[in-house]
Amino acid sequence: MFEEKNSSMSFITGLITGSVIGGLAALLYAPKSGREFRQDISDKKGELMDDAGLMYMNAKEKGSQILSDAKHKAESLLHEGKDKVDSLTGKTGDLVTEGKDKLNEGADKVKNALNSGVNAYNDEKNKLNKDDKNKSNYDDRNKPNKPNY
């Protein structure tokens, strides 16, 4: 089977090659004058140049389109990345603000507790001083008077 395909390909390749060589021989040995032959070559050259120009324009347009698509995709990715960074920055800012609020709240609780402790200490100290004064006045009243000599 491989040999059949191989021989078929060889036949087709030979057929195409023969057709090209035959066409070239016909052009070269055709009963045309040199002027007509040069005109035919010039016309073919013009056609080939037009075809090459069209292919160049198509390639340029496709390249431009590919470049434009790549640019839009890059801009989209950049915008998407920027949005994610902004989102993370916002969340971080929220966390920092929340942490500051909790820290301030805790500091206020500590200050209040400290003030309460100081006030309780001062109240107890004042009570003790008052009791000492009252006791001292009581003791002075109940002591016998001693003459001063």
Amino acid at 3: E
17 occurs within a structural domain = no
Q: Which domain holds residue 63?
A: 38-138
* pTM of the model as a whole: 0.38
42 occurs within a structural domain = yes
29 occurs within a structural domain = no
pLDDT tens digit sequence for 70-84 = 999 999 999 999 988
Position 6 confidence tier, pLDDT thresholds 50, 70, 90: low
SS3 per residue for 64-106: HHHHHHHHHHHHHHHHHHHHHHHHHHHHHHHHHHHHHHHHHHH
Q: Which tokens in the block code for residue 49? A: 């140049």
111 or 91: whose pLDDT is higher?
A: 111
Asked if 37 contacts 27 with a C-beta cutoff of 8 angstroms, the reply is yes
Look at the chain and report how many structural domains it folds into.
Answer: 1
Q: What does the DSSP 8-state code read for residue 30?
A: S
9 occurs within a structural domain = no
Residue 147, φ and ψ in degrees, nearest 5: -70, 150
- Give strand ranges (E) for 4-131: none
60 occurs within a structural domain = yes
